[in-house]
Amino acid sequence: MITAKPESDPAASLLDIAVVGHTNTGKTSLIRTMLRSTGFGKIEDAAGTTRHVERATIFAGSEAILNLHDTPGIEDPYALHGTLQILAAQHKRLNPNELLEKFMADIAINDPLEQEAKVIRQVLRSDVLLYVIDVREPVLEKYLVEIEILSKAMKPIIPVFNFIAAHRAELELWRKKLAAFNIHASLEFDTVAFTFEAEKRLYQKIQSLAETYYSKLQRLIDHRAKVWQQLCYSGAKRIAELIVTVACHREHKASHAPAGHTSSPTLKLQEFIRQAEQRCLHDLLAMFSFSEKDIALQKIPVHDGQWQLDLFAPGVLKAYGLDVGSSALKGAAAGAGIDLMVGGLSLGAASVLGALAGTGWSTFRRYGKEIQAKIQGTQWLCADDNTLQLLYLRQQQLLDKLMHRGHAACHVDHVDPTPEVDELPSRWQEIINVLRQNPAWNKPSNARNHNAQYQSIESALIHALLRMPEGQTTASPG
């Protein structure tokens, strides 16, 4: 049982956790993942990267909760074990904890066990030990010797199994070996293939061993859960914004523009969509505290399609700010002088346009260039169905990778340029049809964001991206 520190200690309110283990097992990686930061410490695929004890503090909001201490790897457990055996023979009345204190008192500068002494010093100062194990390594005797040495500190030890993805057989072997030491309270926490539930279980395991700090740790658990939910929601919301922006976007098709010309509507559409996806990637990486060297996103293949505004599609007139119950629409049947303006449009469309024109040209012009284009018979290009489906599936894949990428990962995650297996939202085609008929939604506005139909579409996209059933509550920021 951990007892409270004396109030005279300036760090009396903080739990001290030492992250220990053999060299190159992922101790610094664990701390990076817990901090959600790629900036802590130095990670290399070589032994002895961490040479000194480094500290990081974890907060719940503005409240400091615990200190993590990254220790050097134990490089020569056999020499350390032999030295402790000699001391035990010389000082038979010392208990195991006092034996480590004696070792620290006798250690000299430039002693061959100087690195091990740094570890033992921090272990004695800490409340809980996280012993990091790379399960890809064979269960060698030296690891068991390390655990035996660390147990002399009489501090709770939590073995943390790292790099467990695709190594279940090795993991089970490690469990059996530790059980022989009567160590059963281990934990799976992959610092490369991250899951929030594993992080939550880690804090809960610490909580069960540090009852004095139970309430503070619970505040940390609750805070982390809320932040994680908000982070995932914000990521899905940003992707929903991308889908809306691209589906609503269109390029004016001018009949005189030569094919393949740099100003052609097809090339402009392609460039718009690719830049929009890159901006979304940049924003998502910033949200999840990654950089552009962590994710490779190839150019999306873009195909265009013809588009015409349907004045009778649900919500179109509302999207342009016209009240469908207004006197202008009530007088639509009159259609005074409309034939001179619209030529061969249907009687229904002519009536609606007549009603709009009847409100005055200043009012009419604010309903958008698309409605005016309808009068003039202009053609527009938009992203076709396959392009929008591909864009959505790529973003869903990207969000999954970011939500499960540990901050110790050094590899580059590749987003499949043409994902084959995944699911579209249940109302996908309906969503796309509505977005195409509401071009005024291509940019955020109060009118758009408070539109019930838009809110329904945004909610459906967010739920689908997070793989949540529609109707289940999402943790919106705020």
Ordered DSSP codes for 321-368: T--TTSHHHHTTTT-TTTHHHHTT--HHHHHHHHHHHHT-HHHHHTT-
What 3-state class would DSSP assign to 229? helix
Kindly state whether residue 221 falls inside one of the protein's structural domains: no
Kindly state whether residue 326 falls inside one of the protein's structural domains: no
**Are 189 and 145 part of one and the same domain?**
yes
**Are 305 and 162 part of one and the same domain?**
no
User: Domain span at residue 177?
Assistant: 15-209
**Are 168 and 268 part of one and the same domain?**
no
Kindly state whether residue 452 falls inside one of the protein's structural domains: yes
Quick count: other Cβ atoms within 10 Å of Cβ 176? 9
**Are 134 and 268 part of one and the same domain?**
no
**Are 176 and 267 part of one and the same domain?**
no
**Are 54 and 84 part of one and the same domain?**
yes
Quick count: other Cβ atoms within 10 Å of Cβ 215? 10
Residue 40 tokens, joined: 């802590």
Kindly state whether residue 347 falls inside one of the protein's structural domains: no
Q: How far is CA 403 from CA 4, 17, 197, 400, in A?
A: 36, 26, 12, 5
Kindly state whether residue 99 falls inside one of the protein's structural domains: yes
Q: Is the dihedral of CA 339, 341, 345, 346 positive or negative?
A: negative
Question: Model-level pTM?
Answer: 0.79
Each residue's pLDDT tens digit in the chain (478 positions)?
Answer: 444 454 444 445 799 999 998 888 888 888 888 888 877 644 444 444 455 888 999 999 999 999 999 998 888 899 999 999 999 999 989 999 999 999 999 888 888 998 899 999 999 999 999 999 989 888 888 888 999 999 999 999 999 998 888 888 899 988 888 887 777 778 888 888 889 999 999 999 999 999 999 999 999 999 999 999 999 999 999 999 999 999 999 887 765 555 555 568 888 888 999 999 999 999 999 999 998 888 888 888 777 776 655 544 555 555 555 554 554 444 443 333 334 344 445 555 555 555 555 555 454 554 456 565 655 566 778 888 888 999 999 999 999 999 998 887 788 888 877 776 668 998 999 999 899 888 889 999 998 999 999 999 999 999 999 998 876 666 565 5
**Are 205 and 247 part of one and the same domain?**
no
Into how many domains does the chain fold?
2
Are the beta carbons of 139 and 173 closer than 8 angstroms?
Answer: yes
What 3-state class would DSSP assign to 128? strand
Burial 90-106 (b: 16+ CB within 10 A, else e): eeeeeeeeebbbbbeee
**Are 268 and 160 part of one and the same domain?**
no
Residue 232 tokens, joined: 């995932």
**Are 32 and 137 part of one and the same domain?**
yes
What contacts 24+ positions apart, CB below 8 Å, involve 92-100? 96/151, 96/152, 96/153, 96/154, 97/124, 97/152, 97/153, 97/154, 99/152, 100/124, 100/152, 100/153
Kindly state whether residue 216 falls inside one of the protein's structural domains: no
**Are 162 and 293 part of one and the same domain?**
no
